[in-house]
């Protein structure tokens, strides 16, 4: 059974026990495994970290959410993290070059699903939740970086495929990641 | 010609999205090992009105990111005497940073 849960303020501050990205060692299936690398997602467990930044708690307090966690039969298998475009620009997260509506645009900065759970519609479930969130909270546009190559070539990068189903369009004028020419920005008006 | 540790300027422009704890720990360890001063700037804490007061190499990058002129990332950036090292490939980025520090200090690489 699938469950999509909104990330809570408590999780931002205290963390999530057994989080596969925040706690587990790098999964070789994600590609290019650096030996022993931990994936310490800073959006969780801020109070326990050596370097602390209150950004995620502040974003949560401002808009009422920062993302979703996807569970399959009780196992955490995916996550989405988002923030308003005005904040994404402030910290340099990939966004489109469009400078209008920074306040009413949401940017997805992270969308990951464990490889063994790909092609089950989990990413789509989280995108659907985000669209509902945006409609409820007065956000009119969603942007995200995507790897514009076919999913098999894109590897662990976020694929365009789940976004296309929701009507997202690739912005041909914007590169996604500074260091990854194969990435672009796609967007959707909601 | 070799530099003394006090002449090697390490500026750390922190992107707090997801990996700043990991990168801060690694970089502060390096600076401690080579007795270097680390200046850290968190993008979240930098107000637009304060950008002009940053070192020029840092302020240029911050302006480019905030204007949308430069494509973004979730990664932080290290500057060594103004030379930019994006931390976009673990562990290679930090190997490059350490090599640069050692070169500036005139230390032999292992």
Q: Does A137 touch chain B (CB under 8 A)?
A: no
* Order of strands, sheet of A141-147, starting from the edge strand that comes earlier in the sequence: A2-6, A67-72, A75-84, A105-113, A141-147, A180-189, A169-177
Segments in chain A forming alpha helices (H): 9-14, 55-63, 85-91, 122-137, 151-154, 161-164
Q: Tell me which chain B residue has its CA closest to the CA of residue A86.
A: B66
> What are the residue ranges spanned by the domains of chain B?
6-105
Contact B43 A92 (CB under 8 A): yes
Strands A105-113 vs A141-147: parallel, antiparallel or unpaired: parallel
Contact B25 A51 (CB under 8 A): yes
Chain A positions touching B75 (Cβ under 8 A) are 179
Give A67-79 pLDDT, tens digit per residue: 999 999 988 888 9
Chain A positions touching B14 (Cβ under 8 A) are 51, 53
| Of A56-65, A75-84, A94-103, A148-157, the least confident | A148-157
Specify the 3-state DSSP secondary structure of B63.
Answer: helix
When scoring B15, B23, B71 by the number of chain A Cβ atoms within 10 A, the one with the most, hence best to mutate, is B71
pLDDT of residue B48 exceeding 50, the answer is yes
pLDDT of residue A25 exceeding 70, the answer is no
Specify the 3-state DSSP secondary structure of A18.
Answer: coil
Strands B38-42 vs B10-14: parallel, antiparallel or unpaired: parallel
Range among A158-162, B4-8, B19-23 with highest mean pLDDT value: B4-8
Shortest alpha-carbon distance between residue B41 and chain A (Å): 11
> What are the residue ranges spanned by the domains of chain A?
2-189
Shortest alpha-carbon distance between residue A157 and chain B (Å): 13
Give A124-179 pLDDT, tens digit per residue: 999 999 999 999 999 999 999 998 887 677 766 788 889 999 999 999 888 888 88
Shortest alpha-carbon distance between residue A10 and chain B (Å): 17
Q: Which of residues 12-71 of B touch A (CB under 8 A)?
A: 14-22, 24-25, 42-46, 62, 65-71
Out of B18, B25, B86, name the one closest to residue A43 (CB). B18
Q: Is B7 exposed, middle or buried (0-12, 13-18, 19+ CB in 10 A)?
A: exposed
In words, the CATH class of domain A2-189 is alpha beta
Q: Which of A156, A15, A35, A28 is nearest to A76 (CA)?
A: A15
| Of A37-41, A96-100, B57-61, the least confident | A37-41
Whether the CB-CB separation of B95 and B103 falls below 8 Å is answered with no
Give A11-20 pLDDT, tens digit per residue: 999 888 766 6
- B6-105 under CATH 3.40.30.30, yes or no: yes
The size of the A-B interface in CB pairs under 8 A is: 101
pLDDT of residue A101 exceeding 70, the answer is yes
Q: Which of A97, A91, A95, A122 is nearest to A106 (CA)?
A: A95
């Amino acid at each position: 059974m699938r469950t999509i849960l909104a990330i809570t303020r408590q999780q931002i501050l205290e963390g999530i026990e057994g989080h596969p990205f925040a706690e587990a060692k790098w999964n070789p299936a994600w590609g290019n495994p650096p030996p022993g690398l931990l994936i310490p997602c800073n959006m969780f467990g801020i109070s326990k970290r050596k370097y602390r930044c209150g950004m995620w708690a502040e974003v949560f307090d401002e808009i009422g959410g920062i993302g979703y966690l996807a569970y399959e039969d009780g196992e955490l298998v995916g996550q989405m993290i988002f923030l308003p475009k005005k904040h994404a620009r402030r910290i340099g997260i990939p966004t489109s070059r469009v400078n209008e509506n920074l306040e009413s645009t949401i940017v997805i900065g992270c969308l990951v699903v464990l490889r063994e759970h790909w092609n089950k519609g989990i990413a789509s479930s989280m995108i659907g939740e985000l669209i509902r969130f945006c409609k409820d909270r007065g956000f009119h546009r969603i942007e995200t970086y995507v790897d514009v190559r076919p999913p098999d070539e894109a590897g662990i990068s976020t694929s365009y495929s789940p976004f296309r189903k929701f009507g997202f369009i690739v912005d041909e004028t914007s590169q996604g990641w500074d260091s990854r020419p194969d990435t672009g920005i796609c967007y959707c008006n909601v | 010609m070799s530099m003394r540790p006090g002449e090697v300027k390490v500026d750390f422009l922190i992107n707090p999205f997801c990996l700043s704890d990991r990168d801060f720990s690694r970089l502060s360890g390096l600076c401690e090992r080579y007795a270097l001063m680390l200046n850290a700037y968190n993008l979240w804490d930098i107000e637009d009105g304060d950008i002009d007061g940053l070192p020029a190499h840092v302020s240029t990058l911050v302006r480019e990111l905030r204007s949308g002129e430069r494509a973004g990332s979730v990664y932080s950036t290290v500057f060594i005497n103004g030379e930019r090292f994006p931390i976009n490939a673990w562990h290679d980025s930090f190997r490059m940073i350490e090599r640069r520090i050692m070169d500036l200090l005139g230390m032999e690489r292992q």
